[in-house]
Amino acid sequence: MPGLRERQKQRRRERIYRTAVQLFRERGFHQTTATDIAKAAHVSRGTFFNYYPYKEAVLLDYGAELLTQLSEQARAELEEGSPPLDVLRRMWERLSEVSERERELLSPLAYELLNPDPERARSAFEALPLGDFVAEVLRPLREAGELRKDLSLERIARSLADTYLLSALRWSAYTPERRLKDEMLKFLDLVLEGALAR
Q: Is the pLDDT of residue 48 over 90?
A: yes
The pLDDT of residue 44 = 96
Q: Are 90 and 77 in contact (CB under 8 A)?
A: yes
Closest CA to 139 of 151, 147, 129: 147
Q: Do domains 1-52 and 55-194 have the same CATH topology?
A: no
Report d(CA 139, CA 157) in Å as an integer.
10
Which of the residue ranges 49-53, 136-140, 151-155, 169-173 would you say has the lowest mean pLDDT? 169-173
Exposure string over 173-186, b if 16+ CB within 10 A, otherwise e: eeeeeeebbebbee
- Residue ranges covered by each domain of the chain: 1-52, 55-194
Report d(CA 122, CA 106) in Å as an integer.
17
Distances (CA, A) of 158 to 21, 41, 61, 125, 163: 28, 37, 20, 11, 8
Distances (CA, A) of 139 to 68, 129, 131, 184: 18, 16, 12, 21
The pLDDT of residue 180 = 86
The pLDDT of residue 186 = 87
The pLDDT of residue 195 = 84
Closest CA to 185 of 89, 94, 77: 89
SS3 115: coil
- Is 63 exposed, middle or buried, given 0-12, 13-18 or 19+ CB atoms closer than 10 A? buried
Mean pLDDT to the nearest integer, 63-73 = 94
136-166 per-position pLDDT tens digit = 999 999 999 999 999 999 999 999 999 898 8
**What's the CATH number of domain 1-52, 1.10.10.60, 3.30.9.10, 3.40.190.10, 3.40.630.10?**
1.10.10.60
Q: Is the pLDDT of residue 113 over 80?
A: yes
The pLDDT of residue 155 = 94
Name the CA radius of gyration of the chain, rounded.
19
The pLDDT of residue 171 = 85
pTM: 0.86
Q: Is the pLDDT of residue 106 over 90?
A: no
At the top level of CATH, which class does the domain 55-194 belong to?
A: mainly alpha
Q: Is the pLDDT of residue 1 over 70?
A: no
SS3 147: strand
- At what angle are helices 84-101 and 56-79 packed, to 10 degrees? 150
The pLDDT of residue 66 = 92
